[in-house]
Amino acid sequence: MRPQKINDQELLMGLMSVLSSKGYDGASLNELAESSGLQKASLYYRFPEGKKEITSAVLNFVNEWIKKNIYLLLSNHSIEPLVRLHQVIKNINTLYNNGDAICILRALAMDTGVEIFGAQIKESLQLWIKGFTSLGTDIGMTEKVAKENAFLVLVQIQGSLIVSRGLGSTSIYKTTIKSVEEMYRT
């Protein structure tokens, strides 16, 4: 029982960055190993089922991150709604490197990825929507309007990440983030 060279958190963060930027098919085990600081064979020790298990573990990690940093925070009634939003926006900016990153959920939502990881992707998106719906009702929106706005936030942020990447500039991401903040200003 040797000590772990790399702990789970570091490991998953490295793996996530490769899966996000390259996608499931594009991420090779060599790259995944390199980014995580382990050799291929060691990755198989940590994830015996290989690439599928690696990806699934990363998606669980992402799901936990979203739960903690978006969903639970937006549902936390002991914090002022606009303060929650402000903190969540900061977290989202960190997650997406201020618009310069590819969302792993979209990277994996190709034919290959959806077939295998569809349920996990859906779960994360739903957490996101539930969080923003909660925020909306807390500032006085009806359930219906709050849900519509929550979808709009998700749609616009995902879309702005695509367009930012396609145009090679994060300015539309930044504009979009500002307009999201406006949506909840009372």
Partner DNA sequence: GTCTATAGCTAGATAGAC
Partner DNA sequence: GTCTATCTAGCTATAGAC
The stretches of the chain forming alpha helices (DSSP H) are 8-26, 29-36, 40-46, 51-66, 72-74, 81-95, 104-108, 111-138, 143-167, 171-183
C-beta closer to a second copy: residue 38 or 161: 161
How many chain residues bind DNA (CB under 7 A)? 23
C-beta closer to DNA: residue 55 or 156: 55
Single out the residue of 21, 39, 76, 87 in contact with DNA (rule: CB under 7 A). Answer: 39
d(CA 155, CA 179): 13
Asked if 118 touches DNA (CB under 7 A), the answer is no
Q: Which parts of this chain interact with a second copy (CB under 8 A)?
A: 21-26, 102, 105-107, 109-112, 114, 118, 121-122, 125-126, 151, 154-160, 162-163, 165-168, 172, 175-176
CB atoms within 10 A of CB 181: 13
The stretch among 32-40, 65-73, 110-118, 174-182 that binds DNA (CB under 7 A) is: 32-40
Asked if 51 touches DNA (CB under 7 A), the answer is yes
Question: What is the closest distance, in whole angstroms, from the C-beta atom of residue 168 to DNA in the complex?
Answer: 25
Instruction: Report in angstroms the alpha-carbon separations of 165 from 8, 96, 99.
Output: 29, 11, 8
